[in-house]
Structure 1
Amino acid sequence: MSFVVLIVVFFSQLSVFFTVAATSTLFRHGTVIGFNQQTQTPNILCNTSILVEGDTITAIFGSHEDGSIHVPPNAEVIPAENLIISPGFIDTHRHTWQTTYRTIASNITLSEYFVRYSPLSEVLNLFSPDDFYLSQLVGIWEALNAGVTSLLDHSHNINSREVANAAIDAYTDSGARVWFGYGFDPTGNFTIPSRATHIRDLAGDQRLSGSLVELGMAFDSWGAVSETDLQEAINVLKNGNLSVLTTHWLDAQWNIRHGPSLFQRLGIINESFPIVMSHGTFITPAEYQLLKDYNHYVSITPESEMHFGHTNYESDLIMDQAALGVDTHATYSGDMVNQARIWLQSVRLRSYKKILDQWKIPRLSPMSVNQAFYLATRAGALALRRPDLGILEVGAKADLVVFDGRSTNMVGWRYPVAAIILHSHVSDVVHVIVGGNFIKRDGKLTAENVANITTEFARSAARIQEEAINAPYHMEGGFVFNPVLPPASGDPVDVVIGEGTGY
């Protein structure tokens, strides 16, 4: 094959995933959800244009300034009169490799999840690196399609170099902004020293150089590995130039006590990287104070915490050190707007219930749509210590989500934030731009191979699901959570007239 042919093939393969890199784009005369830095609330700008040059927002201006702002002559102009332009949504907790499980775990408890579908089960043996690649790529496409431009992937499926490399390929091919939570829990024959060597090797990996993928660590085995292995993981955190540490934190009877006091004892609470602790179940005032003192965040995953029942009541009180996440998106919805909506209404419910229990009538809402929107955008950026994300302002990265303000469920809006949080759905997302590049345009993902990849993924998922659903479910005591506590079942509900519901 000639050199010229090789070059043509190389660039044709790249085009499978991406459109041509962005130069300049002007969204003209739309409704822009800007940000008031003083009040930390949305600043609604009507009849306003946004200029994107490269990967950065370079101008935001009203129609009265049209003649005074320099717009590059080659800029693409997109009329935005009926569009709502929002910052991209930021998901601070997701397991993209589990896309393969879609619908097969719809009625499980957290105990059953651990026994049958978690990395602690035998399920990882059903996946090849190619299976993981397909599952992660399709999972990220699901997020992008819904306007999630940045996500922290807790990749606890990593059991070999090949699987870790497949994850990086999926991330870079997707076009999303991804924090790779490289799983350090010693699954399979992939030891912590081997993981440490690989993650150091990745520092010079050309796939990551200049990409939207940042390298981090996901780790949950703090008390379950040898002191030597624990120190190896800590050394990587301190010296590996990682962008984030993420871990699961479910306290009290769940017995997964990975809160800030643990990291204080380990001497890593005041390093340069942020720590994102997912769930924060049964958080105490002392742990909350440590979050504030060292500026680390909890990722609240509302639908997950309801589905699995590990609660999130205390999270009502720590939202100034929290962002939102999705978690196991194959079991429920994978979009951040839905998480913000569920969280908003559940916080309201709990607040109203306290007032009603006092035989009083609620007068004011305890939480606003603006606050829900903040948690899904700006708070996620701050959790990852990226002040240039989750916000529309000059100098910020050009991560935008554009909604159709004239859809049947949104038309007639007066307040655009309320229109998004309470009335929108995924089909209203017209455009998604990440780093200045269109990832979704005119309602469709721009990757040219979506149909082929999803077809391959469907075959992979069907094969894996066929075996996964037959995994046995045995539970003694509290299983991995708390062996002292006995298992129990809640009273079943009845939705059918007569005896039984056919559950």
Structure 2
Amino acid sequence: MRSTILAALVGYMGAALSSSVLLSGGTIIAFDETSNSLDVIRDGSLLITDDQIAGLYSEANPKGIPADADIVDCTNKIITPGFIDTHRHGWQTALKTMGSNSTLAEYFLTFSSPAAGPLYNAEDVYAGQLAGLLEAVNAGVTTTLDHAHLMWSTDTAEAGLEASIESGARVFWATAIDSTSPKYSVPDQIRDWKKWNKRSFPNGLVTLSLAYDGWDIGMPEHTQAVVKLIKDAQPPVLTIHWLGGVWPINSSPSLLHSFGVLNGSTAIVFSHGPGLTSAEAQLLRSTNQFISITPESEMHYGHGHTYSHLVHDQAALGVDTHLTFSTDILTQARLWLQRTRSRLFDEVMNRWDIPARNPMSVNQAFLLATRQGALALRRPDLGVIKVGAKADLVVFDGRTPGMLGWVDPVAAVILHANVGDIEHVLVNGKFLKRDGKLTYEKYGELVDRFLASAEKIRGDFLARPLPVLTGSFFGAEGRAFYGNAKDVDVVRGEGTGYGPLFRGPGDKTSAKTASKAKHDEL
């Protein structure tokens, strides 16, 4: 029988408490390190002291709780660890809805860092980054690995960093060393990174990290400079875009291994990795490095999903370009769960057999959204509810119309919950969302700043012609050519149902013309 006090922080009763919160009477999705699995505590309570989980209890009102504790009634609620997003570009928030039908090849020519950079100043970056992070917090995302490829100037880079600090979220700020920037040289970017690396950040919530995508396409001297920086400074996290398969861009684990950086102290997160081989997967396992699967993005843009489901033990989840879809990890976990199930079911039915067992569980999807993200960042104190872990927590209201009637809390969260069901979000023991509302005091002011910035950016964006994709991908002659997927229309007639993008009053292209032009280009 589980003891009344499941665990308590060593020395907790004798320690001086500066702040404490008791989440009382909820169903807690905890983690049992002995069995390496989820453990559900019903009608229990969770004590937070400062920034840590100090105790887990199997009763709603345990004894010995500090008299001045903030007691939060969590009856009929589900308490989970905060969700972890291991791949995002926060600065792109202002471009929301502008790329709803774009492919990855189009993205490179429209919304990527080199393409969109000229539209942004430091104010735009600050407003977009802060609004995007608060959007994520509202959705229960407490930790974000931000691949910050906004290295257009010292000012724009620092604006993104300051916005990350201001958000109160836990952010791994991975500034991207980028040789494509016309006015911000790689030596200057590295100089600034070293300057930022000397800073101390409030409450340790922002962790300076690194990103670099030029391993096979950048200038050799730049790559060598990045390798030296990694070996000398040993950043906590390095993140890299990597596709494989038909995509003629190679930033694979084996390539990084040849530079001597894969087996060091730095955690490396390869974003996407759909075309990985069995050899690459084994290399990830042997060096304990991870891929970040971004299900909705990869399906939206056409990255492909060839083999990434075969390396879940070295995988986590991410959102990627939230300009094109939702910002929450709940959606990503649900999509990936059903995408994986469907693919593996097809393998059985293609043999003319009937599936007898579901090959992926809701528990596995939950772990991908939480603990696996923490392991990818080499932070075992995140993404789990256990004594001593950071108090990054989400509380779901179990009596909303969509949640009403749940029995299995993991299934309720993964298959039934939505962002509107999230009542509280805590990061480092502090409420960033309480009673369904963000606690950021200047949110109204931020909304006005962000909308003014977004309107300006959209106007400049709409003045540009849409790209026309013909021939080979980025000059990859003989290796990668553009091809067309079959249109699937919902309205009879030629191209009538596809329709235009409704991109605002600044878009001077008529609906009929835009629809036909898009159809002809593709």
Please state which band the TM-score falls in when normalised by the shorter chain.
over 0.9
Deviations 1:306-342 (A, max 9, x none): 0011112301111110000000011011100000000
Structure-2 separation of matches of 1:478 and 1:327: 25
**Contact preservation (8 Å) 2:44, 2:60:** no
Tell me the secondary structure at the aligned position of residue 460 of structure 1. helix
Q: Is residue 314 of structure 1 aligned with residue 314 of structure 2?
A: no
Deviations 1:55-106 (A, max 9, x none): 0000001118823xx2122110011111100000000000101111100100
Q: 2:319 maps to what in 1?
A: 326
> Within 5 Å, which residues of 2 pair with 1:165-314?
165-186=158-179, 187-206=181-200, 208=201, 210-314=203-307
Higher mean alpha-carbon deviation, 351-360 vs 272-281, is at 351-360
Tell me the secondary structure at the aligned position of residue 307 of structure 2. helix
Structure-2 separation of matches of 1:400 and 1:55: 11
Structure 1 outlier segments of 4+, above 3 Å: 497-500
**Contact preservation (8 Å) 1:300, 1:323:** yes
Q: Is residue 431 of structure 1 aligned with residue 427 of structure 2?
A: no
Flag the 1:335–1:64 CA change in 2: closer, same or farther, 3 A. Answer: closer
> Within 5 Å, which residues of 2 pair with 1:452-491?
452-472=445-465, 473-480=467-474, 482-484=476-478, 485-491=480-486
Aligned residues: 479
Deviation at 1:497, TM superposition (A): 3.6
Flag the 1:453–1:286 CA change in 2: closer, same or farther, 3 A. Answer: same
**Which one scores higher on RCO, CA 8 angstroms, separation ≥ 6?**
1
Structure-2 separation of matches of 1:294 and 1:482: 31
**Contact preservation (8 Å) 1:104, 1:469:** no
Deviations 1:226-257 (A, max 9, x none): 33222211111111241100000011321121
Deviations 1:129-175 (A, max 9, x none): 01001111111111100000001000111111111211111111101
Structure-2 separation of matches of 1:469 and 1:426: 31
Structure-2 separation of matches of 1:286 and 1:435: 39
Deviations 1:362-389 (A, max 9, x none): 1110000000000000000000000000
Letter in 1 for 2:472: G
> Within 5 Å, which residues of 2 pair with 1:61-100?
61-63=57-59, 66-67=62-63, 70-100=64-94
TM-score normalised by L of structure 1: 0.93
**Contact preservation (8 Å) 2:24, 2:60:** no
Q: 1:56 maps to what in 2?
A: 52
TM-score normalised by L of structure 2: 0.89
Deviation at 1:360, TM superposition (A): 1.1
Structure-1 separation of matches of 2:146 and 2:385: 24
Tell me the secondary structure at the aligned position of residue 71 of structure 1. coil
Q: 1:501 maps to what in 2?
A: 496
**Stretches of structure 1 lacking an aligned partner (at least 5 in a row):** 1-20
Flag the 1:146–1:400 CA change in 2: closer, same or farther, 3 A. Answer: same
Higher mean alpha-carbon deviation, 414-423 vs 460-469, is at 460-469
Structure-1 separation of matches of 2:133 and 2:224: 32
Deviations 1:417-447 (A, max 9, x none): 0000000000100000000010000000000
Structure-2 separation of matches of 1:100 and 1:42: 38
Structure-1 separation of matches of 2:353 and 2:473: 43
Deviation at 1:478, TM superposition (A): 3.0
Structure-2 separation of matches of 1:464 and 1:22: 45
Deviation at 1:476, TM superposition (A): 4.1
Letter in 2 for 1:290: L
Q: 1:107 maps to what in 2?
A: 101
**Contact preservation (8 Å) 1:253, 1:482:** no
Deviations 1:236-281 (A, max 9, x none): 1111241100000011321121111011101111111100000002
Flag the 1:64–1:81 CA change in 2: closer, same or farther, 3 A. Answer: closer
Q: 1:402 maps to what in 2?
A: 395
Q: 1:38 maps to what in 2?
A: 34
Higher mean alpha-carbon deviation, 129-138 vs 458-467, is at 458-467
Structure-2 separation of matches of 1:263 and 1:22: 45
CA RMSD across the alignment: 1.5
**Contact preservation (8 Å) 2:145, 2:172:** yes
Deviation at 1:477, TM superposition (A): 2.8
Higher mean alpha-carbon deviation, 449-458 vs 381-390, is at 449-458
Structure-1 separation of matches of 2:27 and 2:18: 22
Structure-1 separation of matches of 2:475 and 2:215: 14
Deviation at 1:481, TM superposition (A): 7.4
Flag the 1:25–1:64 CA change in 2: closer, same or farther, 3 A. Answer: closer
Structure-2 separation of matches of 1:224 and 1:428: 45
**Stretches of structure 2 lacking an aligned partner (at least 5 in a row):** 1-16, 499-522
Structure-2 separation of matches of 1:90 and 1:383: 10
**Contact preservation (8 Å) 2:26, 2:60:** no
Deviations 1:166-225 (A, max 9, x none): 11111111010000110101213211111111111112225x254300011111011233
Tell me the secondary structure at the aligned position of residue 313 of structure 1. coil
Higher mean alpha-carbon deviation, 33-42 vs 470-479, is at 470-479
**Contact preservation (8 Å) 1:130, 1:166:** yes
Flag the 1:249–1:481 CA change in 2: closer, same or farther, 3 A. Answer: farther
Structure-2 separation of matches of 1:474 and 1:497: 26
Tell me the secondary structure at the aligned position of residue 276 of structure 1. strand
Tell me the secondary structure at the aligned position of residue 303 of structure 2. coil
Letter in 1 for 2:22: L
**Contact preservation (8 Å) 2:473, 2:481:** no
Q: 1:357 maps to what in 2?
A: 350
Identity %: 44
Flag the 1:229–1:498 CA change in 2: closer, same or farther, 3 A. Answer: closer
**Contact preservation (8 Å) 1:476, 1:483:** no
Higher mean alpha-carbon deviation, 463-472 vs 311-320, is at 463-472
